[in-house]
Chains A and B, each alone.
Chain A
């Protein structure tokens, strides 16, 4: 069964500082991996996704993530955080089946200090 672990429940960074959110997955084959962002009271917005090929993927809002098969990780990074990045971030793994369900991690809440 597929699963996702986000070890950090809450992270606080200063505006302008770099950010890394951790994600570890468990899946029996090469996974599909996603990062979503959720602002309070809002739906889920896809930041980026990995299916195959280049292990460093670029997303929207200046985010990137690196797939490391040996570590079963897909960490999200941003070189300089903006106050508007404060939100909940979810890592998800997608099944390579026609049902296409996604399994989400518990999420990491990002607080940005001025």
Chain B
């Protein structure tokens, strides 16, 4: 069964460093999402992406964040200068059609630890 994959599973970085979290969505999917989950808290929407542009972003997704689909298979989230409060689990998701009535398939997540 096709699945969303994410690498790395755990990333440790120093405050102020740049990190890139990588996701490989399901191959025929066109809509991509990033969510994050701070330890012990709810899953929060960050950004949705379609046709090589951002469809919607939350207030969390400030200028320190960017997303990119550099090739036909990867979808990345970059944090330019990490802060302690960026420590969280980051989930990538994809769906094959627009609208959340279509199931979003979630990856296993990348745990980001900022020291």
Contact = CB atoms under 8 A, between A and B. Distances in A.
Interface of A: 32, 36, 42-46, 49, 51, 90, 92, 94-107
Contacts of B109: 42-43
A43 B108 contact: yes
B43 A90 contact: yes
A49 B33 CA distance: 18
Interface of B: 4, 31, 33, 35, 41-45, 48, 50, 55-56, 58, 91, 95, 98-104, 106-109
A104 B108 contact: no
Given A43-B109, A100-B31, A106 B101 contact: no
- Dominant SS among interface residues on chain A: loop
Nearest to B103: A46
11 contacts: A32-B100, A42-B108, A42-B109, A49-B101, A96-B99, A96-B101, A97-B99, A100-B95, A100-B102, A101-B56, A105-B42
B35 to A, nearest CB: 8
A100 B41 contact: no
Contacts of A96: 99-101
